[in-house]
Amino acid sequence: MKASVCFVFAVVCWIAAQAEESPKILTLSKVMNELNKINHGMIKDKSIRLNSPTINDLKDCCVASALECFRSQVLDLSVTDAKLKRSQKIVFNELRKSLIVNSVSTCKPEEIQTSQCKSCDSYNKVDSPIFVQNFLTLLQKIYASHA
């Protein structure tokens, strides 16, 4: 897990150095950075179980719905620090904007309907550290496809 956190940190640092990057990439790096803060400071409560898509669950046209699934539950992560609560709200609000979601929605409406994306509550429930790790992995995949 430490290697993936280091990778995320490296990606965020590289992105921050690229001042001319597109707003989409800058927003994505902001979300990843805030999620990384949450990951380091959240209460590792294994009793909190959240529905979590994994990369293996995702079809091409279902990335946007997976992002929405993560977004809808990020406020349920157990944090006590006011700065981390702020980070949760930033992640929640940034993903509610269309900038990132529209960038991953390259499918036509009819393709989305035929891909039969799973509903959020149909994904397996995992503890909060795994939820955050799966969320970061999806964001890294999105970043890699737009870099």
Domains of the chain by start residue, with CATH? 2-146 (1.20.1250.70)
DSSP 97: S
Contact in structure between 144 and 103 (CB atoms under 8 Å):
no
pLDDT value at residue 142: 83
Tell me the backbone φ, ψ of residue 71, rounded to 5 degrees: -60, -45
pTM exceeds cut of 0.85: no
> Along the 147 residues of the chain, how does pLDDT read in single tens digits?
566 655 666 666 555 555 445 887 888 899 999 999 999 988 887 788 999 998 877 776 788 888 999 999 999 999 988 999 999 999 999 988 766 666 666 677 676 666 678 899 999 999 999 999 999 999 998 888 766
Residue for token pair 């609000």: 93
| Three-state DSSP string of 27-41 | HHHHHHHHHHHHHHH
What is the residue-wise DSSP string for 67-102?
HHHHHHHGGGS---SHHHHHHHHHHHHHHHSHHHHH
pLDDT value at residue 3: 61
The structure tokens listed for 102 are 């529209």
pLDDT value at residue 19: 47
pLDDT value at residue 46: 79
- Cα–Cα distance for residue pair 147/133, rounded to 1 Å: 21
Neighbours of 130 (CB within 10 A): 17
